[in-house]
Structure 1
């Protein structure tokens, strides 16, 4: 009798736990790391960085379609469970969450493990070490984004016809950078990385008019 009572209590506790889990309906996968629920809430997957799909100024990135399709097959039109970390929302008011299917599949982890996303480690989160391991596994097995050790992405980028960043070694240990009709000569070695990072940011974020203004302010020259 006591054993039956214990089993019954255990069952009731487990049932309460399952019933206590909140599930949402995934109405739409907007891109590989952003979902929308039936209630209209946007969910940003914690620790996951898939290639850009929708951005007002950035061009579509390599493997975007594949990552989005993979996420759609997994989550769109299905019930999902959300788990939160320290921060519940980002600056765009999206819910920050770990997302699970009803069968326990951890979507954040699967995207990284199967090579559809990078581990986004700019900010701390509780699964950060695990996600780094998943990315290492995908890289070592050349899955998805890592196929061909990056050679496929380079080939894809060259076919897009985008303006490249060209770096030249100059006399005196300086470097010269050219972007289309703009150039920045005699960049100090210690400033090269930051100059390129700034250029990448400005090219992706600014309109052509604002880009020219920013480059001039930073000492770039325009050539015909």
Structure 2
């Protein structure tokens, strides 16, 4: 026969289990835990905390989410040709400003865990395109994405007009992936 105390303890334990399960079901959606990148970031506005380098920024979203400009590869800090210029450009352009993120249908994160996104100032000013057009970054040809043709065309124009890093760029100053890409094209 079960004693009243044992029965009460079992009821309390079962009640506690139900409360914990209920909290595990209710709390994550309330605080955005376990949501996918599309529901958390796509077509959402955020304030930029700062630029990390010429193609990465940090959102002031309470999580310091790192966002990489999709389709863009800026020279690597600290010493690559034009890396400081690219970082200062991105920081001056975006720090403290509201941006709109749009995710592509390809992938949402890179190998470093950064969110891959198109970054807009306003509805139509695509920062990813601007930084390449102004000669401060390369069109990253290592993966396909929606605006690849446009960003690659802007790089061609910047190179032809010798804007930014293209003014006096030596082959060895280009990133290894780009030198390999040029080599594969016989250039």
**Normalising by structure 2, what TM-score?**
0.65
Asked if residue 97 in structure 1 is aligned to residue 121 in structure 2, the reply is no
Asked if residue 119 in structure 1 is aligned to residue 139 in structure 2, the reply is yes
Contact kept, 8 Å, 2:43 with 2:102, in 1: the verdict is no
Equivalent pairs, count? 132
Q: Return 5+ residue gaps in structure 2 as ranges.
A: 1-41, 174-178
Q: Per the alignment, in what secondary structure is the counterpart of residue 142 of structure 2?
A: coil
Counterpart of 2:67 (choices 43, 47, 50) is 43
Within 5 Å, which residues of 2 pair with 1:49-68? 49-53=73-77, 60-68=79-87
CA 1:118–1:23: 2 relative to 1, 3 Å: same
Q: Per the alignment, in what secondary structure is the counterpart of residue 91 of structure 1?
A: coil
Query: Could you tell me how far apart the structure 2 residues matched to 1:32 and 1:25 are?
Result: 17
Query: Could you tell me how far apart the structure 1 residues matched to 2:157 and 2:111 are?
Result: 31
**Normalising by structure 1, what TM-score?**
0.55
Shift, 1:103, TM fit: 5.5
Superposed CA deviations along residues 92-115 of structure 1, whole A, max 9, x for unmatched, are 221100000125321000000010
Residue 52 of structure 2 is matched in structure 1 by 30
Asked if residue 146 in structure 1 is aligned to residue 166 in structure 2, the reply is yes
Query: Could you tell me how far apart the structure 2 residues matched to 1:21 and 1:49 are?
Result: 23
Query: Could you tell me how far apart the structure 2 residues matched to 1:132 and 1:89 are?
Result: 21
Query: Could you tell me how far apart the structure 2 residues matched to 1:105 and 1:97 are?
Result: 14
Q: Per the alignment, in what secondary structure is the counterpart of residue 117 of structure 2?
A: strand
Q: Return 5+ residue gaps in structure 1 as ranges.
A: 1-19, 55-59, 158-192, 198-224
Shift, 1:74, TM fit: 1.1
Residue 102 of structure 2 is matched in structure 1 by 83
Superposed CA deviations along residues 98-138 of structure 1, whole A, max 9, x for unmatched, are 00012532100000001000000111111111111000100
Q: Which has the higher contact order (CA 8 A, sep 6+)?
A: 2
CA RMSD of superposed structures (Å): 2.4
Moved runs in structure 1, 4+ residues, more than 6 A?
none
